[in-house]
Amino acid sequence: MASGYPGFSAPVVGVAGGNAANLVTLAQVQGFGYVNEATVRSIATSMINSAEGGLMVGAWGTQPLIGVAPNPSWTIQGGVYSACTDASGRITIPFNPHYSHCVQSVSVTKMPATPQAGGHYPCPPYDWIESQVTLLGASGTGAVVQFSHDYSWQPGMWVTIMYMAMGN
């Protein structure tokens, strides 16, 4: 029960609505004070809002998604980024604007290689489905990601990723 009382406190009298399959009506059950969907939704929403309040704000310079933004505010940035991997199969994703205090999180997902304007790749496109993408490190100015396949780096390949970073 929503009140915290553990037991059933009201006896069932007769059959509701003349249908032998129903012991009580929905209105009767709701009247007993049990938690219903609206109550659960309200409690869950309140708990989530309380836990996330002030955690982050929307894209650079926008208002908070929820709660009061910390000072300095969290900022989220991301998008699609393409580059040629270096000799160790790495690329560096530049953050713009830079994070001056900390990087809270970075998430990357490999995508099919996207050619530059005019349909040209400056190096061979890398589209292995089984590739591994490893976040090697992050700083206020960017994140370093390495591409590998079958335990070997993928040097000199044109890669495309989707990324998202949060920091302040």
What are the pLDDT digits (tens) for 72-129? 567 788 888 999 999 999 999 999 889 887 888 888 988 888 888 788 899 999 888 7
- Are residues 109 and 162 both part of a single domain? yes
Task: Give the predicted TM-score (pTM) of the model.
Answer: 0.58
pLDDT at 58 over 50: no
* Cβ atoms of 52 and 71 closer than 8 Å: no
| Secondary structure tally for the chain: helices H, strands E | 2, 7
- Do 95 and 165 meet the contact criterion of CB atoms below 8 Å apart? yes
The answer to whether residues 30 and 84 belong to one domain is no
Whole domain around residue 30: which residue ranges?
16-52
Residue 155: inside a domain? yes
- Based on the domain organization, do 34 and 97 belong to the same domain? no
Sequence-distant (6+) residues with CB within 8 A of 109 are: 133, 161, 162, 163
